[in-house]
Amino acid sequence: MLVKICGITTREAAIAAVEAGADFIGFVFAESKRKITPAKAAEIAKNVPVSVKKVGVFVNEKPLVMREIASEVGLDFIQLHGDESSVTAESLPVEIIKALPAEKQLLAQHDDYPCDYLLVDTPSKSVRGGTGKTFDWDVLNEWKTNKKLILAGGLTPENVQQAIKKVKPVGVDVSSGVETDGKKDIEKIRQFIKRAKEREDEKHENIHHAQFTR
């Protein structure tokens, strides 16, 4: 099970995520209480092993700005969390995670979107991500796709195993659920990754993208 810890703003949180076995760490460059400057993200990223992928989260940012930040920070992935077109996604020089709210119609419309992973998150009218709220996971079981799915939205150390069992994604993503009083909590990061990866033995035979390949 791939694990992405998002909204990293400190070296301590990055180290905790890396040591606990995270596969991706995410830096939010969009408007957010977790927004980080490219310079600070670059400083943190330079101490992260190459095996842990660095993801930059953007919402409707100009492609030129995304390219500059990707180069400055050494991003491996760009996570598009807004209404970015396929053309924008294809113009970017790194791998793409496309984030979508869990709405049936929207998911269906993105079947051919050029991305390496689809991250499905909780819909919200006011903020684009990091809500800390779950959605009805059954929406995903009615959705047929050949995309690799990352499940996000309100995951916690307590509910992540249940979520994996029900949705069978290739990866899980968390931000609020590993925070205490709005700050990343080292112990929660460790617990989240441990529990997500504990189900490792049961994976592969029936992960979401394989189950629904047409």
Residues that bind ligand LARABZUK in the complex, under the rule CB under 6 A? 6-7, 26, 28, 30, 32, 34, 57, 59, 81, 121, 127-132, 152-155, 173-177
Q: Which candidate in 111, 121, 173, 181 is catalytic?
A: 121
Nearer of residues 150 and 207 to ligand LARABZUK, judged by Cβ:
150
Smallest separation (angstroms) from ligand LARABZUK to the CB of 213: 25
Cross-strand partners of 184: 179
3-class SS at 95?
strand
Residue 121: active-site member: yes
Smallest separation (angstroms) from ligand LARABZUK to the CB of 119: 6
Nearer of residues 88 and 131 to ligand LARABZUK, judged by Cβ:
131
For residue 99, give the H/E element and its range: strand 95-101
For residue 183, give the H/E element and its range: strand 183-184
Q: Please state, in angstroms and as integers, the Cα–Cα distance from residue 150 to each residue in 2, 36, 48, 193, following that order.
A: 8, 23, 22, 14
Smallest separation (angstroms) from ligand LARABZUK to the CB of 199: 18
Residue 6: active-site member: yes
Nearer of residues 195 and 201 to ligand LARABZUK, judged by Cβ:
195
From CA 71, how far away is CA 61, in angstroms rounded?
15
What is the signed CA dihedral for 99, 160, 133, 142, rounded to 10 degrees?
60
From CA 130, how far away is CA 7, in angstroms rounded?
8
Nearer of residues 10 and 205 to ligand LARABZUK, judged by Cβ:
10
Smallest separation (angstroms) from ligand LARABZUK to the CB of 163: 11
C-alpha 71, offset from chain centre: 20
Residues that are catalytic: 6, 121
